[in-house]
A and B are shown apart, each in its own frame.
Chain A
Amino acid sequence: MTAYVLRRLLGLFPVLVAAIILTFAANRFVPGDPITIMLGDQGGNVVLERKLRAEYGLDRPVSVQFVDYVSGLARGDFGLSFRYPGVPVTQVIKDALWISPLLAAAALTLAIPIGIALGVLAALRRNTLADTGIILILVAGLSIPNFALAAFFVWGFALKLGWFPVAGWTTWKHAVLPVVILAIPAAAYLARLARTFMLEVLQQDYVRTARAKGLSERLVVWRHSLRNVLVPILTVCGLIFGGLITGTIVVETIFNIPGLGRIAIESIFARDYPVTMAIVMLFTLFYAVINFAVDVLYGLVDPRIRVEAVR
C-alpha cells in the first residue's frame, strides 16, 4: 500500500508546482497591485507609492520575486500579507483554514445519504410519476444558482421565521443555512448519478441471481445493488467536494462567513499575492487529498481495486 501512497504523492508534486507558477504569473499579469488598493482612491502620491513598493519588494523584477518567494516556501515561510501589514499569511489563513472544509464536509455528509436515497428511489420507480417528480426536484435543485437560493432561504427562514441568524459565524446555528444551501446542488447531482448507476446495476446478471436465490427485494436492492452503486458514486464525491469548495466562496460572501472562499476572493481583488498563492496551494492540496482519500475508499469498497493496488 505504501508504494501506492508514494506514487500518488509524487503525482501530486507536478500539479502543485504548476499551480504555484500559474498563480504567481497570473497575479503579476493582473493590472494594479497591493499598493494601489492600500492607498485606495486617495492614491496618486507617487513618492509614497514608490516607498511602499520598495518596502514590499514589489519593485524588484518578477523573476527575483519568484525565486525569493519559492525559497521562502522551501523554508515553510509563506510570506507576509500585503493587506494586513506585518501579519504572516499563515496567521491570516489560520482562523479560516477549517471553516470552508468544515462547511464542505458537512454539506457532503448531508448530501450523500439524501442524494443516494432519492436516486435509488427514482431508479426503482423508473418512468412512473414518482420518478419524474423526483427528477424535477433534483433538476430544480441543480438549476437554481446558490446566490438566488441563499437570498430566498435567508428571507424565509432567517427573517420571516427567525429560526436561524441572518449571517455571521459564532454559534452552530450560523452554519445551518449555509450548509443546507451547499448541500442541495450536491445532493441533486449525486441523486441523478445514483439513479443512472442504479438503473445500470439493476440490469446486471448478479442482481437476477440474487432474486433467483429467493432474497427479498429489500435485500436485492439495498445490499447487492446499492453496494455496486457506491463504487462509481465515490469517484464523483471527489469532484463534488471540489465544487463545494467553490460554492463556499459565494455562500461565505452572502452569510458573511470569514472562510477560505471569501479570503480567496478578497485577496485576489486586493492583489494580496502571498495570501492568494497560499490559498490556491491549499485548494490544490484539498483536491489531491480528497482524490487520494477517494482512491483509498475505492479500494475498501471494491476488492478488485484493492487486490491490484497491493500487488
Chain B
Amino acid sequence: MTDALSIEHLTVSFPGPRDRMRVIEDVSLSIGRGEIVGLVGESGSGKSVTALAAMRLLAATAQVDAGVIRLQGRDLAALTKKELLSVRGAEIAMIFQEPMTSLNPLFRAGFQIGETLQAHLGLSRRESIKRAVELMRAVGIPDPEQRVADYPHQLSGGMRQRVMIAMAMACSPKVLIADEPTTALDVTIQAQILALVRRLRDDTAMGVLLITHDLGVVAGMANRVVVMYAGLIMEEAPVNDLFARSLHPYTRLLLKSIPRVGVKTERLHQISGTTPPPSRFPAGCRFHPRCPDATDQCRNHIPALEVLPDGRKVRCWRWRETGLMSMAA
C-alpha cells in the first residue's frame, strides 16, 4: 500500500556567497496512511526546507538538485502548474509556526477558510462560509457562527492556529505538514492543538509530518522519528526505540538536554557550539566538531546512512560501540 508521502534522496541548494550551497542533502523519509512522523532537529538543520520542498513552495532561487517527492505515488515534479494547484492545499496541506502573521489581517477568518473550498471544490461564496463554520466547530472553536466574521486580530493565538488547521483540513488532505505548529503557543494551548491533530488523524487517517525542535512533543505524538542535523538525516527509528536506545551521539545528547520533572541538576546539559550555517559545513561527519566521541575517521569521512534489518537508520561510524562518552548519565 503506497505511502501517503515519500521523499527519496532529496537534495536542495540555494545561491551562496561564491557558489551554490546544498542546504539539505540525500533526505529520505516516508509517511504512511494515518502515521505521524516527527522530524526533529535544531533550528537551521533544514527541517523547514524539506517541508517547503514537499509543498513545492521553495523560493524561486532554490533548486532541487536531486531526489523525488511522491504524494500517494504521484511524482510532484511531473505535475503541470494546474495539477499542482489542485493538489496543493487539497491533497497535501500545511500549517505554520507563527499564527499571528500567517493569516491575512485584512480578510475575515471565515472567508480565508472558505477560499480553499471555493478554489478546490468550486463552492459558491455563501456555501463556503457555511462549510467554514462547520470546519471551525470541528477544530474546537467556540460559537463559530460569530467567530466566522471575526478578523484575525480579534482572535487569540490558539484560535488563529485552529483557523489555520480548519483551513488545512478544508478538503480533508491525505498529508498534513505541520511546521512547528505549537512553538509560538503557551503550553496549555499547545496540548489542545496537538490533541486536535491526533483526533483529526484518527478521523481522516491522514499522514502527518510533525516538524519540531521539542523532543517532548515528539515523544507524545509521533509513531516514528527522524533526526536531522546540518541538512543530513542522522537517525530514524520508531519513537520508543529512539527514546530507549538511540544509536547516534547527537540524538543521545539531545535527549539528555530535556529537563526531567523531579530530577534535580545544578546545570542543564548543553551541547557545546552551534549548528554550522550551510556555507561552512565541516568535512567528514558534520556533527564531529560538537561530538564528544569524534575520531579521526569521523573528522575526515562522512558516514553513510546505514539501514538496519529492523528498518532503523543511523549515520555514525561508532553506532555499534558502547561505553561512549555521549552515553554517560
Do A's and B's CB atoms come within 8 Å in the complex?
yes
Tell me, yes or no, whether A204 is within 8 Å of chain B by CB: yes
Of B83-91, B270-278, B313-321, the segment with at least 4 beta carbons within 8 Å of chain A is B83-91
Q: A224-B104, A228-B104, A228-B106 are in contact. Are A303 and B153 (CB under 8 A)?
A: yes
Complex Cα gap A83–B256 (Å)? 91
Whether B101 contacts A204 by the Cβ 8 Å rule is yes
* Contact among B89, B103, B104, B106 with A214 in the assembled complex (CB-CB below 8 Å): B89
Q: Once bound together, how far apart are the Cα atoms of A227 and B151, in whole Å? A: 15
Decide if B94 touches A212 in the complex (CB within 8 Å). yes
Decide if B106 touches A213 in the complex (CB within 8 Å).
Answer: no
How far, in whole Å, are A205 and B252 apart by their CA atoms in the complex?
A: 34
Stretch at the interface among B7-15, B115-123, B233-241, B243-251: B115-123
Residues of A within 8 A of B57 (CB): 208, 211-212
A215 at the interface (CB under 8 A from B): yes
Query: C-beta contact mask, B28-54 vs A, less than 8 Å → 1, else 0?
Result: 000000000000000000000000000
Q: Name the B residues within 8 Å of A211 (CB-CB).
A: 57, 88
B120 touches A214 (CB 8 A): yes
Report if A209-B85 is in contact (Cβ < 8 Å); known contacts: A214-B116, A228-B104, A304-B153.
no
Contact partner, A206, options B87, B103, B151, B154, Cβ 8 Å: B103
Chain A residue nearest to B89 in the complex (CB): A214
The answer to whether B2 has its CB under 8 Å from any CB of chain A is no
A residues 201-235 touching B (CB-CB < 8 Å): 204-206, 208-216, 219, 224, 227-228, 231
Contacts of A204 in B (CB 8 A): 101
Residues of chain A in range 43-93 having any CB-CB distance to chain B below 8 Å? none
Bound-state CA distance A224–B93 (Å) is: 19
Tell me which residues across on chain B come within 8 A of A224, comparing CB atoms: 104, 107
**How many angstroms from the CA of A213 to the CA of B120 in the assembled complex?**
9
Q: Does A161 sit at the interface, judged by CB under 8 A?
A: no
Contacts of B164 in A (CB 8 A): 209
A19 adjacent to chain B (CB < 8 Å): no
Mark each residue of chain B from 77 to 113: 1 if its CB lies under 8 Å from any CB of chain A, else 0: 0000000011111100110101001111111000000
Quick check: A303 and B103 within 8 Å, CB to CB? no
Task: Give the distance in Å from the alpha carbon of A304 to the alpha carbon of B107 in the complex.
Answer: 11
Distance between Cα atoms of A214 and B85 in the complex (Å):
5
Whether a CB of chain A sits under 8 angstroms from the CB of B242 is: no
**How far apart sit A59 and B52, CA to CA, in the bound complex (Å)?**
80
In the complex, A18 has a CB within 8 A of chain B: no
Residues A215 and B115 in contact, CB atoms below 8 Å apart = yes
B183-214 residues at the A interface, CB under 8 angstroms: none
Q: Smallest CB-CB separation from B104: which chain A residue?
A: A206
In the complex, whether B217 has a CB less than 8 A from a CB of chain A is: no
The answer for the CA separation of A210 and B164 in the assembled complex, in Å, is 11
Q: Note all chain B residues with C-beta closer than 8 A to A215.
A: 85, 89, 115, 119
Determine if B105 and A213 form an interchain contact, defined as CB atoms under 8 angstroms apart.
no
Q: Is the pair B105, A228 in contact by a Cβ cutoff of 8 Å?
A: yes
**1/0 per position for B132-168, CB-CB distance to A under 8 A?**
0000000000000000000101100000000010010
Chain A residues 257 to 308 lying within 8 A of chain B, measured CB to CB, are 301-304, 307
CA distance A215 to B88 in the complex (A): 9
Across the interface, do A213 and B89 meet the contact criterion of CB distance under 8 Å?
yes
A210 in contact with B93 (CB, 8 Å): no
Q: Which residues of B contact A210 (CB under 8 A)?
A: 104
Q: Is the CB of B90 within 8 A of A214?
A: yes
B96 with A303: CB separation less than 8 A: no
A211-B57, A212-B55, A214-B119 known; A205 vs B101 contact (CB < 8 Å): yes
Distance A228 CA – B104 CA, assembled complex (angstroms): 9
Known contacts A209-B96, A227-B106; is A214 also within 8 Å of B153 by CB?
no
Query: Contact between A212 and B106 (Cβ–Cβ < 8 Å)?
Result: no
Contact of A213 among B98, B101, B115, B153 (CB under 8 A): B115
A304 touches B119 (CB 8 A): no
Contact across chains for B151 and A304 when beta carbons are under 8 A apart: yes
Q: How far is the CA of A214 from the CA of B104 in the complex (A)?
A: 15
Which residues of the other chain, B, contact A231 by a CB distance below 8 angstroms?
106
CA A303 to CA B101, docked complex, whole Å: 15
Query: Shortest beta-carbon distance, A10 to chain B, in Å?
Result: 28
Cα–Cα, bound, A227→B111 (Å): 15
Closest B residue by C-beta to A301:
B106
Q: What's the least CB distance linking A98 to chain B, in Å?
A: 34
Q: Which residues of B sit under 8 angstroms from A209, Cβ to Cβ?
A: 96, 102-104, 164, 167
Contacts A214-B85, A304-B151; A206 near B105 (Cβ below 8 A): yes
B96 touches A213 (CB 8 A): no
For the A-B complex with A209-B103, A212-B93, A303-B105 known, give 15 more contacts whose Cβ atoms are closer than 8 Å: A204-B101, A205-B96, A205-B102, A206-B101, A208-B96, A209-B104, A211-B88, A213-B89, A213-B119, A214-B120, A215-B85, A224-B104, A228-B106, A304-B153, A307-B153
15 residue pairs bridging A and B, Cβ less than 8 Å apart: A206-B105, A208-B57, A208-B102, A209-B103, A210-B104, A212-B55, A212-B89, A213-B119, A214-B86, A214-B88, A214-B116, A214-B119, A228-B105, A302-B106, A303-B105
Please give the residue numbers on chain A whose beta carbons come within 8 Å of chain B beta carbons, in ascending order.
Answer: 204-206, 208-216, 219, 224, 227-228, 231, 301-304, 307
Q: List 9 A-B pairs, minimum CB-CB distance, nearest first.
A: A214-B89, A214-B88, A213-B89, A205-B101, A206-B104, A303-B151, A205-B102, A212-B94, A213-B116
